[in-house]
Amino acid sequence: MSEWEPKIVAFLCNWCSYGAADLAGVSRLQYPANIRIIRVPCSGRVNPKFILAAFRSGADGVWVSGCHPGDCHYIEGNLYARRKFALLNSQLEYTGIVEPGRLHFSWISSAEATKFAEVARGVIDAVKAAGPARHFIKKQAEVA
Amino acid sequence: MREYTERIREAAKRLLSEQRVDTVIGFRRGTVPFMNEPFLVKSVDQVDQLYWDSNCGINLANYLPKRTDRVAVVAKGCDSRNIVVHLLENQIKRDQLYILGAPCRGMVDKRRMMADLKGKEPLHAEENGKEIKVSGRGFQVTFDRQTYLQSNCAICTHRNPVVYDELLGDPVEEQQGVDRYPDVRRIEAMSVDERWRYFQELIAPCIRCYACRNACPLCYCPTCFVDESRPQWVGKTIDPTDTLTFHFLRAYHVAGRCTDCGSCERACPVGIEVRKFTKKLEKEVKELYGYEAGVTPDQRPPLDTFKPGDPEPFIK
Amino acid sequence: MNNPYLPYPVRIDSVVTETEDRNLKTFKLVFLNPEDEQKFKYNPGQFAELSIAGLGEIPIGIATSPTEKGFIKFTVNKVGKVTNHLHNMKEGDIMGVRGPLGNWYPWDALEGKNVVIIGGGFAFTTLRSSIVYMLDPANRSRFGDITVVYGARSPGLLLYKDELAAWEQRKDINMHITVDGTDDPNWKYNVGFVPAVTKQKAPSAENSYAIICGPPIMIKFTLPVLTELGFPPERIISSLEMRMKCGIGICGRCNIGSEYVCKDGPVFTLEQLSKLPNEY
Amino acid sequence: MSDIYISRGKFPEIIGQLMARYRVYAPVLKGEYHEFAKIEKTEEADLGYQNTRLSPKGLFHPHAERMFEYSLVKDDPQAGILKEAPKDFSPRVVLGIRPCDAKAFQLDDVNFDTTAYQDPWWVRRRQTTTLIGLACNEPCGTCFCTSLGTGPFDTAGLDVLLVDTGEGYTAQVLTQKGKDVVGITSGWESVSRTVSEKMEGLRKSAEDSLGRQFDFDPIKQKDMLELFNASFWDEVQFACINCGTCTFLCPTCWCFDIQDEVWGDKGDRIRLWDSCMFPLFTFHGSGHNPRSQKLQRVRQRFMHKLKYYPDKYHNGAACVGCGRCVKFCPVNIDIREVVRRMSATCVCPA
């Protein structure tokens, strides 16, 4: 059997991190292929339900990336998102739903292809260290 | 607390007959011990049904959103904070409200008294100052009110209403030096697997009746996320992952808005300490953004605003 | 024990888009097991639960008549989770059908009577079933005059356009097709709302029954017209819609007063409805 | 068959004998409350209980249960075709059920087991289950069974009725099923006169303590629409928060939802309790909701139990007076008060 490879869902802002991913690709920067990208219009669009849905569906890790504070295409979407994610992040760890190393947030501009590849590698390493998702996966309903 | 009964009746009578308000929301005496029923008074002849004692733990702010009449409402400290939250969220207008502030010494916890009765059924309960006399078939016990406060009331730091039009009694002394979060710290200190097990066991008895959600004044969404079908975020059965998703998101939806009124926990028919979910968020909001829900009528709720320098140690 | 919740497996034989807004499609279904077709004996006016594994079930009126053999048809409006998925299904796909369910138009009572059928929009499905049933050579003599008033908002929103045209040519049925409005210069039928057209065509109430299905607003304004024409409440028949799950009077969802719409209905006379709470 | 008796000391042996042949469900203390659960050891059964917090309806109609399973694998010829989910229908005994709850199953039978349709899961569980009841010597303050045609010693729906007479239990065998279960047990003796007198005394004191708390009959006579349009619903409904506590705890609330759940390429069709208190219950696909208002939903619950059901089945109210909704309603809506209002001779206009 081949070695376990984590599945990571990445919600990337269309105006920055998604562009960085594109640029990283065009620039032939290397990072492992564990990341499934979902393009969103803004990190502020990432509803916490999306993140829970990813984990419920069996994602081993989730990564949300948006524009640097002050650079939001919609002026302040990422600043609202930052508060939202701060609370979500701590509550997910508090309830034991998400172990440390599974949920990641970053600010990456569209020019930062190198940072994108670096963070991607970091995210993958951290999720690998956390191991396959165990806690919060919806399988067959536990009913009579 | 019973002394408020007369004052509530007097105020209701006055406000209705002077046509200051169209209705009055208070409680009437329950049909079983330790329970009172939220009650809408529409005319002066109903006023004498109004009642107050230490079993008025249901948050009356829950009955305010979308009301169109001029309404007087009896409000404890927590209720008044939820009224502030409603005002901030445009659920009701200040000028249609007449707030009868009830400085509060805490509501009693039916569940703990029942537990200490060890299966004996209380048939009558009468509150007298600091004591609650309970009697049933062949027994009589006296409970000390203070000892049997709801756990949220025991750590309450806003016993006096924060907004009101008149007070039903002199302000009570606020509790000083209260440690609000020993239980949160205890859970924080656990390992991640222990925390996971702790919350799994906590919600195991849940029957998905949504009493916690519906007793909460903050849960007024026209369609709750559990009822959405396209996409369906969460299954409707008592599957543990679905039940946890519900409790997690319910708590998250009240982050920065929850006043720790304890209605959710009080309403739960199976005795789940659902505040274990909300209190951590309350603590985080206080630590990260210095915000306490429902205390400041002129400050936006923490998730409806931001500061350029908000802490972001978790972001790469 | 026979399990009334278990759908019969069926194959989608064809899909026809009925209306120009593409929100209504007719699905022709063929039973995978021929013996299931024998068990699925129905009367015009009944409905069935269409079942799609992974999504759920929807109660839909049966659009075919029992005189049409070898298949059943359902015309489905695209509104929710199941119907949206169904609209994307193709010929050859497997799904399920559970039924027939509910009661039907009172065919015994209608025997020897004139039948006035009034329909609006996509509520024409079980009415189509009824018309085909009555026009069947084996049945036509059992009924008196058949009058149909059928309206839609525009010509493109009428269902079963080919059949409507064919019925227009027949002598043994009085067709009054109408639209609320149209800019089609070649439109050869009526223009006007169903209540107005009903009033204008004034079908006789003598020895007659009226079956009326359509949007609530149409029913609301047509009922006074029928009363004026002399139809008593016990001779005005309608079919209710309710949210349903089990379809067999057990799950409790479609309860109105002492009736379960799925089992005791969906067909009620106006007289029966007047004795029930109006929670529908 | 005349009544039989067993001393308290020997009773655990009876439970043991039952467990050897049946799956035995009994009240088990979990946390602060009892609930019916399958017992593995005789001592788990706690017949000293008052009543369970959740009604035992879950024994026949679980909160959520898998009805069908199916594959969604693309090339599987059976994909999308529903198959009945396997279940354990081996014989079982429910020990210590209260007469009110047993009566509730009878009331529910007319819904699940009709001439037109039989709910296969309900019916099979009913067929394979023997109910050994336990009379209520000390009814709760919230009980009102005697006002609705049942009672603390009622035998309706039971196969055997036990009465705890202090030093032991008497057993009244009521059906063939009851005979069969008692037949495999041993250690019974005949009922002495003292025990028999004691039992009568217990019955009388239990029934007297309940009294007749309201008169249900006038509701039967009243016009449905008059009750439906009565003005008191406005006051009844005010406190309601539209949670599902009353319906989920109620032994005669059977309404359910059916949901499909998919995981990977497999799926289940599941049925689960639903509540007429929830707005979604009647929400049409079109967006129309015939019971969009709280008042309509509160009225539906009480009317269904107290008027629609009696009118449909002529079987009395769909309420057995167990008092669970009274005890656990978070806002103290008391069905006894509602019955009194509904049965009051003058329903005065608003």
Whether a cis peptide bond, with omega within 30° of 0, leads into C100 is yes
Residue B110 resides in a domain: no
Q: Which residues of chain C have pLDDT under 50?
A: none
Q: Residues of A with CB below 8 A from D64's CB?
A: 141, 143-144
C148: left (phi over 0), alpha (psi -120 to 50) or beta: beta
Q: Residues of B with CB below 8 A from A143's CB?
A: 237-239
Residue B150 resides in a domain: no
ipTM of the complex: 0.93
Q: Residues of B with CB below 8 A from C56's CB?
A: none
Residue C107 to residues C41, C112, C132, C233, C237, Cα–Cα distance (Å): 15, 10, 13, 17, 12
Q: Considering only residues 146 to 205 of chain C, which have any Cβ-Cβ distance to chain D shorter than 8 Å?
A: none
Longest dimension (CA), chain D: 73
Domain boundaries, chain D: 4-210, 217-343
Q: What is the pLDDT of residue A90?
A: 96
Residue A1 has pLDDT above 60, yes or no: no
The chains found to touch C (3+ Cβ pairs under 8 angstroms) are: B, D
Residue of C nearest to B229 (CA): C81
Residue of A nearest to B192 (CA): A96
| Residue B57 vs residue D348, higher pLDDT | B57
Task: Report pLDDT digits (tens) over D252-273.
Answer: 999 999 999 999 899 999 999 9
Task: Report pLDDT digits (tens) over A11-43.
Answer: 999 999 999 999 999 999 988 999 999 999 999
Residue of B nearest to D240 (CA): B38
Q: What is the pLDDT along chain B (316 residues), one digit of tens a residue?
A: 678 999 999 999 999 999 999 999 999 999 999 999 999 999 999 999 999 999 999 999 999 999 999 999 999 999 999 999 999 999 999 999 999 999 999 999 999 999 999 888 999 999 988 999 999 999 999 999 999 999 999 999 999 999 999 999 999 999 999 999 999 999 999 999 999 999 999 999 999 999 999 999 999 999 999 999 889 999 999 999 999 999 999 999 999 999 999 999 999 999 999 999 999 999 999 999 999 999 999 999 999 999 999 999 999 9
Count Cα neighbours of A52 within 13 Å in the Cβ-side half-sphere. Answer: 27
Burial classification of residue C12, based on how many CB atoms lie within 10 Å of its CB (0-12 exposed, 13-18 middle, 19 or more buried):
middle
Q: What is the pLDDT of residue A2?
A: 67
Distance, CA of D69 to CA of A112 (rounded, Å): 49
Burial classification of residue B261, based on how many CB atoms lie within 10 Å of its CB (0-12 exposed, 13-18 middle, 19 or more buried):
buried
Q: Which of B102, B103, B115 is nearest to B34 (CA)?
A: B115
Q: What tokens appear for B61 in the block?
A: 């702010």
Displacement of CA D193 from its chain's centroid (Å):
34
Q: Which of A64, A136, A125 is nearest to A98 (CA)?
A: A136
Q: What is the pLDDT of residue C115?
A: 95
The chains found to touch A (3+ Cβ pairs under 8 angstroms) are: B, D
Q: What is the pLDDT of residue D346?
A: 59
Residue of D nearest to B38 (CA): D239
CATH number, span C8-101:
2.40.30.10
Q: A142 to chain B, minimum CA–CA distance in Å?
A: 5
Q: With an 8 Å CB cutoff and a minimum of 3 pairs, decide whether chains B and A touch.
A: yes
Task: Report pLDDT digits (tens) over D12-61.
Answer: 999 999 999 999 999 999 888 899 999 999 999 999 898 999 999 999 99
Distance, CA of D44 to CA of D52 (rounded, Å): 14
A139:D261 CB<8 A: no
* Interface membership of B65 toward D (CB under 8 Å): no
Contacts for D207 with CB less than 8 Å, ≥ 6 apart: D146, D151, D152, D153
Q: What tokens appear for C229 in the block?
A: 């024409």
Q: What is the pLDDT of residue A94?
A: 97
* Interface membership of D268 toward C (CB under 8 Å): no
Q: D257 to chain C, minimum CA–CA distance in Å?
A: 7
Q: What is the pLDDT of residue A144?
A: 87
Q: What is the pLDDT of residue D96?
A: 96
Residue B141 resides in a domain: no
For residues D315-332, average pLDDT = 95
Total structural domains in chain B?
A: 2
Residue of C nearest to D112 (CA): C250
Q: What tokens appear for D337 in the block?
A: 């008060």
Distance, CA of D295 to CA of D300 (rounded, Å): 8
- Inter-helix orientation angle B240-253/B275-289, to 10°: 40
Q: A58 to chain B, minimum CA–CA distance in Å?
A: 12
Q: Residues of B with CB below 8 A from A96's CB?
A: 192-199
Q: Residues of B with CB below 8 A from A137's CB?
A: 241
Q: Which CATH number fits domain C107-239: 3.40.50.2000, 3.20.20.70, 3.40.50.80, 3.20.20.10?
A: 3.40.50.80
- Residue-averaged pLDDT of chain C: 94
| B211 and B162 within one domain | no
C275:D225 CB<8 A: yes
B256 close to B293: Cβ distance less than 8 angstroms? yes
D95 close to D132: Cβ distance less than 8 angstroms? yes
Cα Rg of chain B (Å, integer)? 20
Distance, CA of B208 to CA of B241 (rounded, Å): 12
The chains found to touch B (3+ Cβ pairs under 8 angstroms) are: A, C, D
Q: Which of D274, D144, D303, D155 is nearest to D209 (CA)?
A: D144
Q: What is the pLDDT of residue D113?
A: 96
Domain of residue B41 covers 1-105+158-178
Q: What is the pLDDT of residue A3?
A: 86
| B209 and B164 within one domain | no
Task: Report pLDDT digits (tens) over D181-194.
Answer: 999 999 999 999 99
Q: With an 8 Å CB cutoff and a minimum of 3 pairs, decide whether chains A and C touch.
A: no
For residues D75-82, average pLDDT = 91
Backbone angles phi, psi at C47, to 5 degrees: -130, 180
C203 close to C116: Cβ distance less than 8 angstroms? yes
Q: What is the pLDDT of residue D350?
A: 44
Displacement of CA B104 from its chain's centroid (Å):
13
Q: What is the pLDDT of residue C2?
A: 87
Inter-chain CB pairs, A–B, below 8 Å? 118
Q: C103 to chain B, minimum CA–CA distance in Å?
A: 30
What residues pair up with C269 in beta bridges, in sequence order? C237
